[in-house]
Every structure is written in structure tokens, then in C-alpha cells.
Amino acid sequence: MKDKSPIILALDTPDVSSVMAIIESTLDSISIYKIGLEFFLAHGKPGVKSIQDRFADIDIFLDLKLHDIPNTVAGASASIAELQPRFLTVHASGGNEMVRAAVLQLPSTSVTAVTVLTSLNEQELGHLGLPRDPAELAISLGRRAIEAGSTSIVCSPLEAATLRRALGESVTIITPGVRPENSAKEDQNRVMTPHEAIAQGANYDVIGRPITHAPDPKEAAKKIRNSLL
Ligand code: C5P
């Protein structure tokens, strides 16, 4: 099925009825929904299945950010395989073998490598003994994950153009940390508009509160979708 827009809607709540209501109200504009730890740890696979049963035409982005030894990640990936998420996140910093362990268990899922968390600034990267330049670090993490079989990566919109140049056209680039013009930044610091992120080379924008907390989520989703056409 063709995507209705390049928006992935972040459903950051453990509340099942809110999740169902927000999907229902945004279906005209969005076809990929991101389920993260907040929901998954509360409701597990049955919770995800209840969403899939009710909305047969949506795709699930399962944002579990797996990070462990390869054997454990293989087992965790096998445990969620029956959900057939379109995307599953793993931390690229878990290394080549770990990423490959997920890829081997999930042939029909795009194993999506999280590069550098946007919550880590240069100073914190330095304290952790990592390269201070997030773009430099994101390139090496992204390259390695792709070699291991990842087909998508998550990065800041500020690094999207650099990563697109470094990693080529075939990788799917997904950027959170976007905010429509005139909307509250909340805890996101370094933001771009959804349109700017796509112009920088991203394929998808992950957007949460600007839609889920809007007075009229249906309208908010439609407005952002139209800004991306
Ligand atoms: O509400 P908001 O639009 O800020 O939601 C953004 C989503 O993207 C959240 O689910 C958040 O966990 C996720 N995310 C992020 N920054 C990252 C990685 C993921 O904001 N670096």
C-alpha cells in the first residue's frame, strides 16, 4: 500500500483508548504509526495486535531500540516477528553482529538503526569518550548498520543531509525532532520543520505531540501532510 504521507505518528502513551482514538482521527493523512516502549511495556504483543486487528491498513513502526548481545537481540526479534512490523529500531552502537542478529530474524521488516540520540550534545558525547561531532559519529554508526543489513536509520534532521550524502540514496532516513512552524518545541532543542527535514534528505518525519496534543489532531495531521505535498 502506498504511504498516505511521509509522516510517522509517535503514539507516546500507554493508554489504549487514546491510541485507538488518535489513529482513527488521523487515518486520512497518516499510514505509519510508531509504538514505543511506553505502550509496549504496558501491553506487549497483545496490545499491538489489538491495534492491528482494528486498523488493518496501517503499518507499525515498533520503536523498541533493542541494544544487547547478539544472541539476546536475536531472541527478542524472534519474539516480536509475528507482529511483522514494517520498522523495528535497534541501537546501531550495539555493533554489526547485533544488528545482523535482528535482520536475520526479521526478513520482512526494515531493521532501523538509531544512530546518535538527539538528547546527547557534544559535551556529553565527549564525556562518554565518543567523537564530539554527532554527524561524524552518525556516519560511522549508520555505515556499519547498513553493512549489517539495516535498511533504515534514525537521525536528527540536522544530520540528514550529511548522512544522505555519506550513505547514498537507497537507505531510508527517518528524522524525529521536527516541529511545524509556530508550534511549541517542548523538550526538542534542535528542530527543523517537517518540510525542511524532508528537503534535507529525510524520507520520513517522526511527529508526536504537534499532532497528538493538538486541539484537533485530524486537522493538525492534515495541515502537516499538506505542507509536505
Ligand atoms: O512529541 P514529539 O514530536 O517530540 O515525538 C518525537 C518522537 O520521536 C518521540 O516518540 C521520541 O521518543 C522520538 N525520538 C526523538 N528523538 C530521537 C529519537 C526518537 O524525539 N533522537
**Is the CB of 38 within 6 Å of ligand 1?**
no
Q: Return the pLDDT at 75.
A: 98
Which of 171, 172, 174, 133 shows the shortest CA–CA distance to 157?
174
Q: What is the CA radius of gyration of the chain?
A: 17
**Does residue 134's CB lie within 6 angstroms of at least one atom of ligand 1?**
no
Residue of 65, 218, 222, 223 marked catalytic: 65
Residue 65 beta carbon below 6 angstroms from any ligand 1 atom:
no
The pLDDT tens digits for 71-125 are 999 999 999 999 999 999 999 999 999 999 999 999 999 999 999 888 888 888 9
Which residue of 115, 121, 158, 206 sits with most ligand 1 atoms within 8 Å of its CB, as the best mutation to test the pocket?
206
- Which pLDDT value is given to residue 120? 85
Give yes or no for residue 52 having a pLDDT over 80: yes
For residue 135, pLDDT beyond 80:
yes
> 100 and 70 in contact (C-beta within 8 Å)?
yes
- Pairwise CA distance, residues 99 & 225, whole Å: 32
Residue nearest to atom 5 of ligand 1 (CA): 208
Pick the closest to residue 103 from 94, 112, 95, 114 (CA basis).
112
Question: Which residue has the CA at smallest separation from atom 4 of ligand 1?
Answer: 208
**1, pLDDT greater than 80:** no
229, pLDDT greater than 90:
no
pLDDT at 141: 96
Q: Is 65 in the active site?
A: yes
Nearest atom in ligand 1 to 36's CA: 10
Mean pLDDT in the chain?
95
Band the pLDDT of 36: cuts 50, 70, 90. very high
Q: What is the pLDDT of residues 153-197, one digit of tens each?
A: 999 999 999 999 999 999 999 999 999 987 877 776 778 999 999
C-alpha to C-alpha distance for 205 and 195, rounded to whole angstroms: 9
Residues of the chain with pLDDT > 70, as a percent, come to 99
Percent of the chain with pLDDT over 90: 87
pLDDT for residue 32 is more than 80: yes
The predicted pLDDT at position 119 comes to: 81
Give yes or no for residue 208 CB within 6 A of ligand 1.
Answer: yes
In angstroms, the CA 118 to CA 104 distance is 28
**pTM for the whole structure:** 0.95
